[in-house]
Structure formats: C-alpha cells, structure tokens
C-alpha cells in the first residue's frame, strides 16, 4: 500500500513513465491500495491480487491515468475511480473489479475502444453514483454488473452506467438495496430505474 508516485514502491528507482508497463501486484500481507493522486501517463497497466488478497489502484478525484496501450484487471485486482478519469485504448476485466464514479475514455481519435468485462465485476458509483464510458461496453456471459438502489433519484440515489457508444450485454445483473440514511430502501411497484444507457444501442 502506498503512493503511486513514490519510486521506492516500485522495482526501480522511480514510478513508471510513458514507456513503462506498470504491473501492480499484491506481494504480501492483507489487501493493499496504490493511490494515484497526480495525473500519470504510462504504456500499459496490469493489476492483480494474490491468494485471496486484493490489490487496488485508486485514482483520486480530478486525476487522470493515461495509457498508450491497455488496462488489464486480473483476478484479485481492482481499479477504483473516485471522481477521476482513465484515458486508455481498452480495459479488459479478467477476474477483477472496475468500480467508482468518473469517466473512462477508450480508443484513439475517432476509433472507439472497449471496456470488456470477460469475467469480473463492473460496479458504478463511489457508493451510489455514475460511471461514464466513451466507447463500447461489453458484459460477457461470465461478467457481473453490480447496481445499488437507495432511492429513485438517478446519480444520488441509484447507480447508473452511461455508455457513449454501443453495448453488448450478457452475464449477471446483481442488484442490491442500500441505506442512504433513512433505512434500507424499499422499492415500490411502479418504481423505474434507468441503470444503463447507450447512445448507439
């Protein structure tokens, strides 16, 4: 656990730069978090846990992580956006978790990229909130989309995934009810929750 920018936290004298492949691996102890609190550009990012222990990359509010290649979230790995941005060619979820509020920009110029949940979890919201994806979103047959409902007001009381592009949906929709301060939400017949939109269908 520690700051991304601290060189001593890496196998090298400094944090990776725009030519570096950043492998953020759990190595010992309990769950760990690498905190990215400044705009950062790297070539590629791979995140993974180990032996049931999670390794999380947390991107702090207002910060952007840019990769020239892609992002791979492997088993036990997690990326959490706290009002932040990932600008990458693609994200593949291969057993890990993508969560939080903010925006994900994929592809290069007019060519869209993709967030592909092959076998993992996509969980919009930092608590309850909205995750935006520019590019395609694919939820595979072994992928899970987690949505929290705490009321009927979008963004502040239930999660939403907004896709500026196309979606391909399979797998599992896992909905949970949450308490936002006035007790566990009790949805009523007729309540409507627009949890996912896609501008191109």
For position 194, what pLDDT does the model report? 97
- What average pLDDT values come out for the chain (201 residues) when binned by 10 residues? 90 90 92 96 97 95 97 98 98 98 93 96 94 98 98 93 97 97 95 97 93
For position 46, what pLDDT does the model report? 98
Is there a contact between 158 and 195 (Cβ–Cβ < 8 Å)? Answer: yes
Is there a contact between 46 and 21 (Cβ–Cβ < 8 Å)? Answer: yes
Classify residue 67 by burial, with Cβ atoms within 10 Å: 0-12, 13-18, 19+.
Answer: buried
Structure tokens at 10: 């890496």
């Amino acid at each position: 656990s520690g700051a991304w920018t601290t060189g001593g936290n890496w196998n090298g004298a400094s944090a990776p730069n725009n030519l570096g492949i950043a492998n953020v691996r759990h190595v010992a102890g309990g769950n760990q978090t690498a905190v990215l609190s400044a705009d950062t550009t790297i070539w590629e990012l791979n995140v993974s846990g180990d032996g049931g222990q999670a390794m999380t990359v947390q991107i702090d509010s207002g910060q952007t992580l840019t990769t020239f290649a892609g992002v791979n979230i492997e088993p036990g790995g997690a990326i959490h956006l706290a009002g932040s941005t990932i600008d990458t060619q693609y994200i593949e979820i291969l057993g890990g978790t993508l969560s939080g509020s903010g925006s994900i920009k994929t592809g290069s110029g007019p060519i869209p990229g993709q967030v592909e949940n092959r076998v993992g979890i996509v969980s919009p919201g930092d608590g309850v909130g909205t995750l935006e994806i520019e590019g395609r979103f694919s939820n595979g047959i072994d992928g899970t989309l987690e949505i929290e409902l705490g009321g009927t007001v979008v963004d502040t009381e239930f999660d939403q995934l907004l896709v500026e592009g196309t979606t391909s949906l399979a797998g599992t929709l896992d909905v949970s009810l949450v308490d936002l301060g006035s007790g566990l939400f009790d949805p009523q017949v007729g309540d409507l929750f627009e949890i996912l939109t896609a501008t191109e269908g």
